[in-house]
Amino acid sequence: MASATELAAQAVLYGIVSAVVVETLIRRLPVPAPGDRFRYRLCTLILPLALPPLFAALAPMRATEAFADLALFSTSRWQRLAVAGVGVRDLGLATLGVLGAALVLRDLWRDALHWWRDRRALGPRGAHRGAADPGPVLQSEVEGLARRMGVVTPRVLLLDTEAAILHCRGVRRPTVMVARGVAERLAPDQLRGALAHELAHVAHHDVLRGWLLALLRAVQWFNPVAQVVARRAALEVEWRADAEAAAVTAQPLALARALLTCIRGRDTEFLGLLGRGRVAALEQRCRRLLDGVPARQGRADAWSLAIVGAGLSVLLFFVV
């Protein structure tokens, strides 16, 4: 029976191999639609978690030394190679574990800072209790957009704060939270674009996807490749929402302006270095909006995912 260290080493290795293969496919096919790329990347995140225990349960002979001779790659061979009395496999796993944990903590810290700033901006009563009716103009804007996008109109809450807060939350009952500061600061076309972006998140259940990504990241905290892939997948979700909002409103420039206004109002100075990554990601989103990247789903259907998943499973079966 494989030990926990062996399973962890396999999970990291599977993550690296899956990521390399999937990234090659994304670039070579190519896969321009962010929604498709998200699905492929989700494969990269799920396979390293699912396959090691599945293989261990279904094919226990993989743990034997005879199988290691058949295998394409055996982590135990690297473990027998020692540096200062420690096996190279364990050494590599520890190094990658520290790196993975650092990436998790970095994002956790950044999100905690944001949460704390929003909390302070909303006052001691918190977001939901400080929320008010959005008013007829905002409500009708959301309803109009929802009709055009084929989405059930979500609940809209207006937060009484100057902070630039605009996001959707809630898995079972999606809610679009709009801060008064945002509603006043954005021009009507910009606000329309920003609301369409949030409605695109509602349409694709992106809050649930966000939690799923967070869960996959937390479980694979020791795997830096999974952290990078998950962040990239989260970005794809945003890109898709941007592209769909731009397609619905036909005003990508207005949405780009809205994004810039929001990030300025967001005050990322307090994040220091952590904020730079967010600003860079925003810049990338604006560029994509102006370049006109497609929103619609391409061909990452169940068959495509099954082909990639089956191929990777066969390869990884021979990696122990």
Partner 1 sequence: MATGHAAATTGPFGAVGHHARLVGLVVMSLALAAAVLRTLDTVPSWLRGEPRGLRRYDRLEDLERAVHTRLLLPAYFPERLEYPPVRILLAPGGAQPSAVAFRDRMRGTERLVVCQNARGDAPLPDRLLPPGLVLQRVATDVNGAQAVLTRMRAPDTREWTDLVWVQQGRRVALRLHGDDAELMRFARSLTRVRP
Footprint of partner 1 (CB under 8 A): 17, 20-21, 24-25, 28-29, 32-33, 65-66, 68-69, 71-74, 77-78, 80-81, 88, 243, 247, 292-296, 298-299, 301, 303-304, 307-308, 311-312, 314-315, 318-319
Residue bearing tokens 């639609």 = 33
Residue placing its CB nearer to partner 1 in the complex, 33 or 263: 33
Residue placing its CB nearer to partner 1 in the complex, 123 or 311: 311
- CB 135, min distance to partner 1, A: 33
Long-range pairs of 139-144 with CB within 8 A, sequence gap ≥ 24: 141/191, 141/192, 141/195, 142/176, 142/195, 142/199
* Structure token digits, residue 269: 């100075």
* φ, ψ at 239 (rounded to 5°): -60, -40
- CB 201, min distance to partner 1, A: 19
- CB 144, min distance to partner 1, A: 21
- CB 56, min distance to partner 1, A: 19
Are 268 and 275 a contacting pair, CB within 8 Å? Answer: yes
Residue placing its CB nearer to partner 1 in the complex, 71 or 274: 71
- What are the start-end ranges of the E strands in 23-169? 82-83, 86-87, 131-132, 155-159, 166-169
Are 37 and 236 a contacting pair, CB within 8 Å? Answer: yes
The number of residues in the chain equals 320
Residue placing its CB nearer to partner 1 in the complex, 217 or 285: 285
- CB 206, min distance to partner 1, A: 19
Residue placing its CB nearer to partner 1 in the complex, 205 or 299: 299
